[in-house]
A and B are shown apart, each in its own frame.
Chain A
Amino acid sequence: MTTTPLAGPDRLTARGLVKRFGETVALAGVDVSLAPGESLSVMGPSGSGKSTLLHCLAGILQPDAGDVVLQPADGSPLDLGSLGERRRSLVRRQHLGFVFQFGQLLSELTALENVALPSMLLGASRDDAELTASGWLGRLGLDGMGDRRPGELSGGQAQRVAVARALVTRPAVVFADEPTGALDQATGYEVMRLLTETTRAAGASLVVVTHDADVAAWCERRITVRDGLVVDEARRADGTAGAATVPAGAVPGVAADGLDGWAGAR
């Protein structure tokens, strides 16, 4: 099964991904492609294989069969399946950004230092890294919060710091695994708005794994995974990302069946 690529070379291409854990087949032959700047949501019930798909796409897990090729903004394509753990770790640090459900910030560092850390790991000086980090905190509405520790931030603030942390190295693709899973609906809405807007503004592609149709509605394209296979695929009718189709009522009431505004469901 193939997806319809946008014009130009894909940012990320996966072909025939198979991943087994013992007897369990988590992925049974999945094809996914992601265009530069495109946002994709991966939906599915618990145990459907969506997190495994994210881990394979991000080079965290190596698939048992199939290829994952990442095309960085500059440089030649990287075949993630053929790289060793150390190289894949380096690729994640250099070219990918991550936002998890919660708890990804180091509790001993301040918000500013947490955002500066990825740049420092890539060799930036502490002053430069903190200057850049401070800019990102500002962009995410966290001015004046740089000195706070993760334990002193609300759930929504911590997720915004995590978004800043994911984007600070200007990654090619940002992966978000249930980014609003630990937040209330209003805060989740705000985090998704910031995540999609800032990612698009930074020119990065976005992959969001979620079981929540409201969250998926923020992305341009959606695939649904069940029993390790992509069983459904749809593109937003208006071809845009964002809250345009989220029903009014500033706070995310959102489509009851989660399909409003989607076209091309198979």
Chain B
Amino acid sequence: MRTVRALSPLLRRAGGRDARITTALACTAFAVVTALALSVVGGLLAFQGRAAEPVANGEPVFGYLYVSLAWTALALLVVPLVTLGGAAARLGVSRRDARLSALRLLGVTPREVVGLTLVETAWQGLVGAVAGCLLYVLLIPFWTLFVFQDRPFTPGELWVGPLVLLAALVVVPLLAAGSGAVSLRQVVVSPLGVSRRVRAPGLRAVRVLVAGVLVLGFIVVSVAMRSFGAVAIGVLLGSFGTAFLALNAIGPWVLRLFGRRRLRTARTPEQLLAARRLLDDPKAAWRVVGGLGLAGFVAGALAVVPALAAAQAERDATAEIIGRDLTTGGLLTLTLTFVVAAVSAGITQAASVLDRRREYALQHLAGLPTELLDRVRRREVLGPLLLVSVGSAALAIVMLSPLFGFLALTSMTGPVLLVGCLALGCGLVLAATEASRPLLRSVLAETVVRAD
């Protein structure tokens, strides 16, 4: 531990321009995670406050429905947020590799190497968390623009209080260190260098079975409950949980199948490289697009809401408000998921460029065109992106069909909303991955390729 204490301040200051870029990216990611998580918790607290002290008609009855919906939104955002934290931690680890192996050469033990990495990642997490708390405060006026239960939020309602802020300052660095530890398991830091473990372990078809059972189970239950219209919302909530588990079980497996097919049919260098990179680690690819899969599912489920709300609105005003709020809340959750997925994708791409910097730079010296790597990046992200977002939206419509029939398709608003959201989300993710372009250019511009 003494070594870790002695070396960690030195390591923090060491490193060149790349180290600064990755540190900045990682801190930004942690800041986004913190700010969004605090905002969602703020929303949850606001609904809890309103449920406890209702002021308007209908609030006493429906207050707790809003609380459970807010919990659902929080649950939906947890995984993408944790994934983003993990990507940021991984990014940090990838650039420290070279220095870590040099330290191993000097006699630092593997355990101390892990310790050093975790201290540095936790430090980045803390810097990000502090910036995130500030960003959260700055965002409060923006969130007050949203109207729920027929009245806008007040800043007071959305304020999480000092205890939650303090908790964020502890939890985010811990989360960062934890993700960093997991990332380090994927590399072998030896005194002679750092190598990535080859070939991710295989994925078993049992995943499909699990997913199938979950989806079928949900459909059977919802058919049985069809007569109880009032529990529709409960079923909707249940569907998010089920879909979440089903998608996570099946996602990487489907991506691997998709990658294999693309590898077989690959004709051009970019098709070959994109397919190989997807096959290399389908779980990692899933972590990037998985958040979007979930968002796609939310969007698919949401497609029902306009039709449902229109039907309900004819009966009473409260139902109209709830319908409108469901759409607003759903869209908000969707947008946040897309933003988080986009930041994750951008960070992951940056980490991937830095991981492969030597290979890329040498290939470039040998005449590999830069545009090829641009095309590979787009292809690598776009294929799984479309597969996952469209696939999961379709899954939502199919899973909810026993409950609502194909109600989603009876009103044009729903499908338009669905397609619009998916297109926007995919565009956002693609734009975020393009952010690694300057980094790639700077890596390729190096003619003196360092032996790391």
Q: Which residues of A are in contact with B by a Cβ distance under 8 Å?
A: 51, 55, 58, 60-61, 89-94, 96-98, 100-109, 113, 117-118, 120-121, 125-126, 149, 151-152, 166
Contact = CB atoms under 8 A, between A and B. Distances in A.
Nearest to B356: A107
Nearest to B452: A103
B206 interface: no
Nearest to B192: A182
B268 A120 contact: yes
10 contacts: A55-B447, A92-B365, A93-B368, A100-B449, A104-B362, A105-B359, A113-B272, A113-B276, A120-B269, A149-B199
B102 to A, nearest CB: 16
Contacts of B269: 117, 120-121
Contacts of A113: 272, 276
A265 B368 CA distance: 38
B367 interface: yes
A155 B120 CA distance: 32
Given A92-B367, A152-B198, A101 B451 contact: yes
Interface string B408-452: 000000000000000000000000000000000000000111010
A58 B365 CA distance: 9
Contacts, number: 84
Nearest to A181: B451
Nearest to A58: B365
B367 A89 contact: yes
Given A108-B277, A120-B269, A61 B447 contact: yes
B366 interface: yes
B279 to A, nearest CB: 8
B362 A103 contact: yes
B198 A104 contact: no
Interface string B159-172: 00000000000000
B365 A98 contact: yes
A107 B196 contact: yes
Nearest to A92: B367
Given A126-B272, A151-B198, A104 B363 contact: yes
Contacts of B199: 149
Given A60-B447, A101-B451, A106-B273, A125 B267 contact: yes
Given A96-B367, A126-B272, A103 B266 contact: no
A104 B367 contact: no
Contacts of B447: 55, 60-61
Shortest beta-carbon contacts, A-B, top 10: A93-B367, A92-B367, A151-B198, A104-B362, A98-B366, A108-B276, A103-B358, A120-B269, A108-B280, A108-B277
Most buried by A among B266, B273, B359: B359
A55 B197 CA distance: 32
Most buried by B among A90, A91, A126: A126
A102 B197 CA distance: 17
A147 to B, nearest CB: 11
Contacts of A106: 273, 356, 359, 363
Given A92-B365, A93-B366, A121-B269, 8 more contacts: A51-B448, A60-B447, A104-B366, A105-B359, A107-B356, A109-B273, A120-B272, A126-B268
